[in-house]
Amino acid sequence: MPTISERGKQMPASPIRKLVPFAETAKRNGIKVYHLNIGQPDIKTPEVALAALARYDEKVIEYSHSAGNESYRKGLANYYKSIGVDVDFSDILITCGGSEAISFGLLSCMNPDDEIIIPEPFYTNYNAFSVAAGVRVTPITSRIENGFALPPIKDFEKVITPKTKAIMICNPNNPTGYLYSREELEQLAEIVKKYDLFLFADEVYREFCYDGLKHFSVTQLPGLEQNVVLMDSVSKRYSACGVRIGAMISKNKEIISTALKLAQARLSPPSLGQVIGEAALQTPPEYFKEVYNEYIARRNFVIESLNKIKGVFAPMPKGAFYSIVRLPIDDSDKFCQWLLEGFEYKKQTVMLAPATGFYSSQNLGKDEVRLAYVLKIEDLKAAVECLSEALKVYPGRTV
């Protein structure tokens, strides 16, 4: 029997999804599971997008252009212009979710054994895509104490080697909810220029910035046009995760033409998803206002409730809809699994993502979990209540 690949063995299991079988067992046993493990919002997809799908009447569901439908790319370029990001439609490749944009970026820009610096905790799947591409992740640890602000630039410079090819950030940040300021990004720009690096920026949560703060995109940093690769997705913006439509954007023509070869190899992004994506560009401002208000209320509720639980610390997120929360526990992997297979409160439990999977450094995140406040307040209330009760009886409680 032939053996699987080493990279297959090294491929990390997703902390967001690896406990799914335990959740399924809990559900089969009649337990209601509140899913705070995954950024699957319960917000409705915009009417205007669903209406476009309902009107769809093609008789042959054909491939699209490998870079995505031109009309969609042109519409998307207008969307970017409206938020102050100056791109031409030819700078855009439509991808199969933000995921494929990340893969395309890594494969186009980086060779095996090249290094990419990422502030941790980071979106766990950057790790998996890096393993698939043979790229080495060099983490720089950000800290819960200051809400996971950008680590000092000298921390980045310390780990830069001749193999360092890129820095990757997610802003607003998944999993921390931190929103990088313009000043932090300008500092980052300096070392990107100094060491001639690529700057990958995952900005899929840009519409989710709170407390009057405004998102500043790395594409607005002067002089970085040839360095920046933007990764985007419609999944969260329009609560349409299942359409698998994202985009990779760069003013660097060489990157786009290289990624286009990858795009042509897989023929086309999903055609039906593009119908949704293009129509969603017409989503009225009221939709976002309503969603925004809902998330503010959810965030405030969940963070305040969590901080009332003894031994729990949850920094206030400034963006996205995640929070990394410190719990009085020995091991977040054990705890999250135990929540599903060893605990229930009024026939209910909560599914969380162990934070260990969001750190690249060993042994970090053992007393932290990632939580996505993507459910309505009534459900969040029940979920937090479950967590509170669970912490009272969890055998591995530390304080």
* Burial class (CB within 10 angstroms; exposed 0-12, middle 13-18, buried 19+) of 63: exposed
For residue 219, the 8-state DSSP code is: G
Q: How far is the CB of 330 from a copy of itself (least distance, A)?
A: 26
Rounded to a whole number of angstroms, the minimum distance from the CB of residue 117 to a copy of itself is: 14
Q: Which of 23, 41, 326, 344 binds a copy of itself (CB under 8 A)?
A: 41
Q: How far is the CB of 346 from a copy of itself (least distance, A)?
A: 26
> Using an 8 Å Cβ cutoff, are 104 and 259 in contact?
yes
The residues in 194-223 that bind a copy of itself, with binding defined as CB under 8 A, are 196-198
Structure tokens at 297: 């209320």
Is residue 53 a contact point for a copy of itself (CB under 8 A)?
yes
DSSP state of 387: H
Q: What is the end-to-end Cα distance of the chain in Å, rounded?
A: 49
Which residues face 170 on adjacent strands? Answer: 202
- Find the binder of a copy of itself among 19, 26, 36, 43 (CB under 8 A): 43
Closest to a copy of itself by CB, 268 or 305: 268
Which residues in the 113-152 window bind a copy of itself by CB under 8 A?
114, 125, 128-129, 132-134
CB 208 within 8 A of CB 292: yes
List of residues 6+ apart from 188 with CB closer than 8 A: 150, 153, 156, 167, 169, 180, 199, 218
Nearer CB in complex with a copy of itself: 114/333: 114
3-state SS, residue 268: coil
Least distance to a copy of itself, CB of residue 97, Å: 6
User: To the nearest whole angstrom, how small is the minimum distance from the Cβ of residue 348 to a copy of itself?
Assistant: 21
* Binding residue (CB under 8 A) for a copy of itself from 38, 281, 316, 391: 38
Under rule CB under 8 A, residue 5 binds a copy of itself: yes
Decide if residue 1 touches a copy of itself (CB under 8 A).
Answer: yes
Cβ distance to a copy of itself smaller for residue 255 or 320:
255
Q: Which residue stretches of the chain are H helix?
A: 6-10, 20-28, 47-55, 70-82, 97-109, 125-133, 153-159, 182-194, 253-265, 271-280, 285-308, 332-341, 377-393
| Segment near a copy of itself (CB under 8 A); pick from 205-213, 251-259, 314-322, 376-384 | 251-259
At 199, which helix (H) or strand (E)? strand 198-202
Q: For a copy of itself, which stretch binds (CB under 8 A), given 56-64, 80-88, 283-291, 338-346?
A: 56-64
Using the rule CB under 8 A, which residue among 77, 249, 255, 309 binds a copy of itself?
A: 255
Q: What Å distances lie between residue 368 and 306, 330, 354, CA to CA?
A: 13, 10, 7
Q: Where would I find the H helices in 322-376?
A: 332-341
φ, ψ (nearest 5 deg) of residue 135: -90, 140
Q: Is 64 in the site for a copy of itself (CB under 8 A)?
A: yes
Report the site for a copy of itself in 71-110 (rule: CB under 8 A): 96-97, 99-100, 103, 107-110
Q: Show the binding pattern over residues 303-332: x = contacts a copy of itself (CB under 8 A), - = does not.
A: ------------------------------
Could you tell me the CA-to-CA distances from 105 to 68, 76, 198 in Å, in that order? 17, 19, 10
Q: Which is nearer to a copy of itself, 8 or 396 (CB)?
A: 8
Among 32, 48, 52, 66, binds a copy of itself (CB under 8 A): 66
Q: Which of 37, 45, 142, 356 binds a copy of itself (CB under 8 A)?
A: 45
Task: Tell me whether residue 125 or residue 349 sits nearer to a copy of itself (CB atom).
Answer: 125
- Please count the residues of the chain: 399
Strand ranges of the sheet holding 353-354, from the earlier edge strand across to the other edge: 322-326, 368-372, 353-354
Site for a copy of itself in 257-276 (CB under 8 A): 258, 261-262, 264-273, 276
Tracing tokens 């042959």 back to the chain, one arrives at 60
Task: By CB under 8 A, name the one of 6, 30, 222, 286 that touches a copy of itself.
Answer: 6
Minimum gap (Å) between residue 38 Cβ and a copy of itself: 7
